[in-house]
Structure 1
Amino acid sequence: MIDIVQHPTLHQALAAAAQAYGANSLLAIPANPQRSYLQDGLELSFAQMHAEVMALAARYAAAGYGHGHRVALLLENRPEHLLHKLALNSLGACCVPVNPDYRPRELAYLIDHARVDLVVLLDSRLDALRAALAESSHQPPFATPDATLPPAARDPLPGSVHGDTPASILYTSGTTGRPKGCILSHRYELASGHAYATRGGLASFGEGTERIYNPLPLFHVNASVVSFPGALLTGNCQVQADRFQPARWWTEVRESRATVVHYLGVIAQMLWAQPPGPQDRDHAVRFGYGAGVEPQLHAAFEARFGFPLIELWGMTEMVRILSDNHAPRQVGTRAFGRALPGIEVRVVDDADRDVAGEAPGEMVIRHSAATPRQDFFSGYLDDPAATEAAWRGGWFHTGDIVWRDATGMLHFVDRRKNIVRRSGENIAAAEVEAMLLTHPAVEQVAVMALPDEVREEEVLACVVLRPGLERSEATARALFDHCSAQLAYYKAPGWVWFTDAIPTTATQKIQKHSLFPAGTDPRQLPGMLDLRALKKRR
């Protein structure tokens, strides 16, 4: 394994890995005849990746790009994304990955906020960029991957590239307010890859023997800053799908000879919903790494498909993951690991006081008392106030509500903003969602808070029914009874709304804030069913 202390930048690590693992595959693109590019797939060895990165770096340097420049990459999940990122990072330039689902206004915000010096994008995205530039006050030059690069408008900064040099700026999802740019250093990205590859137990990685299938987007931290650096440091291969496609999952996993797969909760649900067949066990997967599998599905999924789903926790600001990867695991409980050296954890109340026993509270974390911010993000771009607010008291406030059992195992409850506060009771939206998903009528669900004049907030369930089922009050009542029979009465949905689809991000996270137009009172919408009168103590 590559020593990240001796090789503290991404380029140094890549050069060392190319020397150690030269002929091994580092990046594989699965074949897909329905795709517009690389229909037959592609494999690049460590030596080939290093050579292509060096050639690209020479092109950027010749055009004047280097230390301190920021370059936006709108290259989807194509190999060009990783090649250009590594080339730019080798010169000390910082990459700003772009979500291809951004609308012009969102892209214009990113361009203005990051003050990018250049945009590198696919031909197919040129119209989208021009629309964004029409709304942006900052007007950077742009180029497609193989085109001549426009000259840099300013000189690189003096000094050499080092571990604390920014490698990426990743923008948070921005479910409330404008997205914040998280600055990630070379040290951060290498530390996250090292942690990923060395957690051990059921998540042990061999050296030069693993093929890691990751269908998640490269503009997100999971594929670009967790699994890829992990593969780079260990001589392994990242199998980078263009996106998650349920119908192609097993074909790509099987043909790519994947030994590790990455998932999200929605991926597990969609795979489970496919008809059982021989493909369920026709694979070489040793384990899945991910987050959000529904507790009621977890054990059944593992029994059907023949490999463990190892739940992990991480966030863009700190992605040296925690995971429930040592036997015996707590399957079906939302357990995601324990504190360990380099990730100290407290569970606190609203006043940052430690909660007692197994009571839920916000998880706050740090590296150690001596170096609390080591290997964390470097800060929010141009927002020191938000950075310091997140670090109040010397601990990073994750915004995640968890509880800790007597063994030290941490259990996820929900995001702090996904707590419904009803008559003094805190209700986790995730708990109600998990219960509704066990009903045979439910295809997808999002639970959130609605204002309530008497009880402060009430539970709203937005439900996508399975095909052919009737959107009726009787169906809503059946869903209510299903929850009421197994959850405390106050947790059952007081409102039910049937919809055709629930919007998700490119990483398959539900966008609850996009379900209803801004300024709308959902209670007044046609089809909103009021079940509050059914909520009674037994």
Structure 2
Amino acid sequence: MHRPVDPPPHLHSAYQAFAETLARCPDADFLCIPARAERDYCPDGESFSYARMAGMAAEIRALLERSGFGHGHRIAVMLGNRPEHFQLFLAANAIGAMIVPLGFDQTADEIAHVLDDSAVDLILSVPSQRERTEDALGKIAGTPQHCDISALPDRFAPPRNPGLAATPGRATDALLLYTSGTTGLPKGCRVTNDYFLHGGQWYISRGGRMTVRNDRERIFNPFPMLHMNAGVLSLMAMILTGGCVISAERFHPASWWDDIAATRATIMHYMGVIPPILLAAEPNAAEKRHHLRFAFGAGVAPATHIAFEKRFGFPMVEVWGMTETGRTFTDHLEPRSIHTRAIGRPLPGLEARVVDSDDREVPRGTIGELTVRHTADDPRKGFFGGYLNRPDATEEAWRGGWFHTGDVVRQDEDGLLTFVDRTKNIIRRSGENISASEVEAALASHPDVVACAVLAVPDDLREEEVLACIVPTAGARQDATAAEALVRHCRERLSYFKVPGWLLFRETLPTTGTSKVQHRLIFAAGEDPRTVAGCHDLRPLKAALRKSGYADDAKGASV
């Protein structure tokens, strides 16, 4: 099925796209909530048709409009993945207002930063989050009205900020998504209607192993609505094709396959930590009952990728994307390169250029920073609208007419892009650049590893050394012998200088709402991981393995 990469020109908003599908198939499922008995909403599971959701959105829209809300106003929502989030988004989008999602995992300080930076006119939250939201409000000036979504008033207080006189359209800000803030306070990415429409159209136009059928697909997405993965891509892909969003509040390994089967999912979304956990589980009958056609995600190690597809019987399409870009690179065309960390090739609509630290394009096969732009006359077409209140940061990211991603990649002669690492995840050891992700992939291929994280630690002689944090499988050894076995396992797959010099076993690793490991939260600020009890110093073994000529050292490191 061939679809254009650009959305239909007559569409001007996410809500207009929803209204068109509503008119065409009002009784089709728009939203499905999987059953979960202990949850405080939809414990038995529930489905919402396009018509039912439209009616719910109309009620909130009327309340907003009679309270004076309209184009340009901002509404913070702390609703998780509840049906009310979708209801509020559609209502706000219909009148040109912006939604600012807050996360259940955010601290009061983090919430306060978002509220202060975004200057919202209204906050809507669920009862369980009221106290934390009030704590956050106590930390900022100019407190907006805060209402419980379960007990809405007949009218809200009037908006604090003036609205916009212009008619809402593609340039209207629809969503404000805050970046992770690993290099400073989180920045608010302005997500416009144009971004929504382009992101959804891009998803459904890929074809190949990512072919999306009209009126038949059901996307199971376990990630929070405050991320573009769930908040934009899967939502708009289903709206544009008359499909159904299956919104789980998080990843539940024990019930994953039962939930997939019960909700009749045809597509699932994942992040790198999910496949190894599912693979580590004992085979069961539920995993054979699914109707999945493909999975969409990022960060899976090659060995895990191969084993997952063999066991579960459907392709995992590795992608690359970020909040600022909306669209993604996708390795969706056969023959796919699942034995590598390939993320696909540039195609019309998303162009790539790999550059060095001076923004000079590097030769094919050389690693460098990935920069991207649209192939149209406007390089920012379909991208985010800029960082809120940070025009300097926006222009710096777009220097030279290319958006600088901060990701390190390699591009082959045939144009295939392979992900190497985040720039900040490169470890400098004795003059060598080591990708933390590459070491993580080698560790993840060991059967006793459920999850892992690789970090840099200081080294007086070599500048930095490689530290690995390992979450082992149940019953696996966690002693020096096990640590040495993991180093030998890595040495069989990596050059000498890349294998861990330090290794620490952990019961868990901190993750984001999208199941990405939060490397910066593994250790407390100022804590030296090498001094943590149980941290194994494997540098003597590493040196011995080098001297033994264990495998061919492509780089020939001398230290």
TM-score, normalised to structure 1, is 0.97
Instruction: Give the match's secondary structure for 2:446.
Output: coil
Distance 2:235 2:436 in 1: 32
User: Which residue of the partner structure matches residue 26 of structure 1?
Assistant: 30
Distance 2:484 2:474 in 1: 18
Counterpart of 2:374 (choices 348, 367, 372) is: 367
Q: Displacement of 1:222 after TM fit?
A: 0.5
Conservation of the 8 A alpha-carbon contact between 1:337 and 1:410: yes
User: Which residue of the partner structure matches residue 150 of structure 1?
Assistant: 156
User: Which residue of the partner structure matches residue 391 of structure 1?
Assistant: 398
User: Which residue of the partner structure matches residue 126 of structure 1?
Assistant: 130
Matched, 1:457 2:464: yes
User: Which residue of the partner structure matches residue 409 of structure 2?
Assistant: 402
Matched, 1:51 2:55: yes
Percent of residue pairs bearing the same amino acid type: 45
Cα shift readout 1:56-75 (whole Å, capped 9, x = no counterpart): 11111111111111111100
Flag structure 1 segments of 5+ consecutive residues without an equivalent.
Answer: none
Q: Displacement of 1:534 after TM fit?
A: 3.0
Matched, 1:107 2:111: yes
AA of the residue aligned to 1:435: A
Cα shift readout 1:139-187 (whole Å, capped 9, x = no counterpart): 1111122411431234422121010010011001112211111001011
Distance 2:209 2:488 in 1: 39
Distance 1:176 1:450 in 2: 18
Q: Displacement of 1:21 after TM fit?
A: 2.1
Q: Displacement of 1:357 after TM fit?
A: 2.4
Counterpart of 1:68 (choices 61, 67, 72) is: 72
Instruction: Give the match's secondary structure for 2:306.
Output: helix
Conservation of the 8 A alpha-carbon contact between 2:320 and 2:329: yes
AA of the residue aligned to 1:14: F
- Greater Cα offset, 428-437 or 137-146: 137-146
AA of the residue aligned to 1:399: G
Cα shift readout 1:392-444 (whole Å, capped 9, x = no counterpart): 11100011111112221111111111111111111111111111122233232
Distance 2:505 2:335 in 1: 40
Distance 1:369 1:22 in 2: 35
Matched, 1:433 2:440: yes
Conservation of the 8 A alpha-carbon contact between 1:4 and 1:13: no
User: Which residue of the partner structure matches residue 346 of structure 2?
Assistant: 339
User: Which residue of the partner structure matches residue 485 of structure 1?
Assistant: 492
Distance 2:206 2:218 in 1: 17
Counterpart of 2:328 (choices 318, 321, 326) is: 321
Cα shift readout 1:430-481 (whole Å, capped 9, x = no counterpart): 1111111222332321101112222121111112233344433222222222
Distance 1:229 1:336 in 2: 22
Distance 2:447 2:265 in 1: 32
User: Which residue of the partner structure matches residue 255 of structure 1?
Assistant: 262
Distance 1:530 1:467 in 2: 24
Counterpart of 1:92 (choices 91, 96, 110) is: 96
Are the structure 2 counterparts of residues 409 and 24 from structure 1 closer, same or farther at C-alpha, using a change threshold of 3 Å?
same
Conservation of the 8 A alpha-carbon contact between 1:254 and 1:283: yes
AA of the residue aligned to 1:6: H
User: Which residue of the partner structure matches residue 166 of structure 1?
Assistant: 173
Distance 2:475 2:16 in 1: 57
Distance 2:287 2:162 in 1: 55
User: Which residue of the partner structure matches residue 269 of structure 1?
Assistant: 276
Are the structure 2 counterparts of residues 369 and 90 from structure 1 closer, same or farther at C-alpha, using a change threshold of 3 Å?
closer
TM-score, normalised to structure 2, is 0.93
Counterpart of 1:211 (choices 204, 218, 221) is: 218
Q: Displacement of 1:3 after TM fit?
A: 5.5
Distance 1:269 1:3 in 2: 36
Instruction: Give the match's secondary structure for 1:258.
Output: coil
User: Which residue of the partner structure matches residue 552 of structure 2?
Assistant: none
Conservation of the 8 A alpha-carbon contact between 1:118 and 1:141: yes
Distance 2:17 2:472 in 1: 49
Q: Displacement of 1:52 after TM fit?
A: 2.0
Instruction: Give the match's secondary structure for 2:231.
Output: helix
Conservation of the 8 A alpha-carbon contact between 2:280 and 2:473: no
Instruction: Give the match's secondary structure for 1:262.
Output: strand
- Greater Cα offset, 2-11 or 395-404: 2-11
Conservation of the 8 A alpha-carbon contact between 1:121 and 1:144: yes
Distance 1:439 1:261 in 2: 25
Distance 1:283 1:535 in 2: 44
Cα shift readout 1:242-281 (whole Å, capped 9, x = no counterpart): 2110111111111111111111111111111111122222
Alignment coverage as a number of residue pairs: 538
- Greater Cα offset, 13-22 or 311-320: 13-22
AA of the residue aligned to 2:492: A
AA of the residue aligned to 1:396: F
Conservation of the 8 A alpha-carbon contact between 1:111 and 1:138: no
Distance 1:356 1:266 in 2: 32
Flag structure 2 segments of 5+ consecutive residues without an equivalent.
Answer: 550-559
Instruction: Give the match's secondary structure for 1:509.
Output: coil
Matched, 1:502 2:506: no
Are the structure 2 counterparts of residues 309 and 180 from structure 1 closer, same or farther at C-alpha, using a change threshold of 3 Å?
same
Matched, 1:531 2:538: yes
AA of the residue aligned to 2:48: L
